[in-house]
């Protein structure tokens, strides 16, 4: 078996908290008194275009939160969205150590504004040299195309790559592209799985 040369990471749920998943949206619904069913239906109508870079954060909010007149401040809502991101500090530090000897990239589904905020806020550009983010490439996991694109951009063979994600469907997508893959649950099991494949800091 060839040694692993490149590690691809999901961001939300692995390195950081999720940015705008159902838990975060539920907090926003409660904080701003939104109609939960209506907001979620509008979110589902717009999320693919939002995460694939087709609409901006401002346009997404116009379609979802502000599609009907209300007293919510757009700036307050945006600040609240950004404030929900949290670091998984132990996993980030481990990734930083691995970056000394491995090619490191993300494959993540995220809207542009939140993605760029999180890269800056948590110093992800000091760990990863490539961000294969849905908002930049117009593809979302588990679409096979996003994994093929990541491989093309890094020019590393699939069997020399390992993808880390917390969702089984995304793991299946990576394996279908020929990558090795690890389902993330916590840092210690991740370390053990990588060590079994010869990856250590």
**Average pLDDT over all residues of the chain:** 98
- Among residues 83, 103, 119, which one ends one of the domains? 83
1 in a domain, yes or no?
no
- Domain membership of residue 141 (yes or no) is yes
What is the domain range of residue 145? 6-18+86-196
Q: What is the pLDDT of residue 24?
A: 98
Residues 63 and 131 reside in one and the same domain: no
Q: What are the tens digits of pLDDT across the range 22-57?
A: 999 999 999 999 999 999 999 999 999 999 999 999
Q: Is residue 57 part of a domain?
A: yes
Q: Is residue 123 part of a domain?
A: yes
pLDDT at 39: 98
Which tens digits make up the pLDDT trace of 100-152? 999 999 999 999 999 999 999 999 999 999 999 999 999 999 999 999 999 99
Is residue 58's pLDDT more than 90? yes
Residue 66 has pLDDT above 90, yes or no: yes
According to the model, what pLDDT value does residue 178 have? 97
Instruction: State whether 157 and 70 are in the same domain.
Output: no
- Asked whether residue 103 is assigned to any structural domain, the reply reads yes
Confidence category of residue 1, pLDDT binned at 50, 70, 90: confident
Three-class SS of the chain? CCCCCEEEECCECCCECCCCCHHHHHHHHHHHCCCHHHHHHHHHHHHHHHHCCCCCHHHHHHHCCCCCCCCCCHHHHHHHHHHCCCECHHHHHHHHHHCCCCEEEEEECCCHHHHHHHHHHCCHHHCCCEEEEHHHHCCCCCCHHHHHHHHHHHCCCHHHEEEEECCHHHHHHHHHCCCEEEECCCHHHHHHHHHHCCCCC
**pLDDT range class, residue 65, cuts 50, 70, 90:** very high
92-103 confidence digits (pLDDT tens): 999 999 999 999
Q: Are residues 10 and 105 in the same domain?
A: yes
Q: What's the confidence (pLDDT) of residue 164? A: 98
Regarding whether 114 and 184 lie in a shared domain, the answer is yes
- At 171 the pLDDT is 98
Rounded average pLDDT over 156-166: 98
Look at the chain and report how many structural domains it folds into: 2
- 77 and 122 belong to one structural domain: no
CATH number of the domain encompassing residue 34: 1.10.150.240
């Amino acid at each position: 078996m060839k040694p692993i040369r490149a590690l691809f990471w999901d961001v939300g749920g692995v390195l950081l908290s999720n940015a705008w998943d159902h838990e975060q949206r539920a907090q926003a619904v409660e904080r701003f008194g939104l109609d939960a069913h209506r907001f979620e239906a509008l979110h589902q109508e717009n999320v693919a275009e939002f995460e694939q870079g087709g609409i901006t954060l401002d346009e997404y909010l116009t379609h979802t939160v502000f599609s009907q007149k209300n007293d919510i401040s757009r700036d307050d809502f945006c600040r609240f969205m950004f404030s929900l991101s949290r670091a998984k500090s132990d996993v980030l530090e481990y990734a930083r150590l691995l970056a000394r000897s491995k090619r490191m990239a993300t494959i993540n589904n995220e809207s542009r504004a939140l993605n760029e905020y999180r890269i800056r806020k948590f110093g992800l550009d000091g760990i990863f040299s490539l961000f294969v983010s849905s908002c930049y490439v117009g593809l979302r996991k588990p679409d096979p195309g996003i994994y093929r694109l990541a491989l093309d951009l890094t020019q590393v063979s699939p069997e020399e790559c390992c993808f880390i994600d917390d969702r089984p469907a995304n793991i299946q997508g990576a394996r279908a592209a020929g990558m090795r893959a690890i389902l993330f649950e916590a840092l210690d099991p991740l370390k053990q799985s990588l060590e079994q494949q010869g990856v250590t800091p």
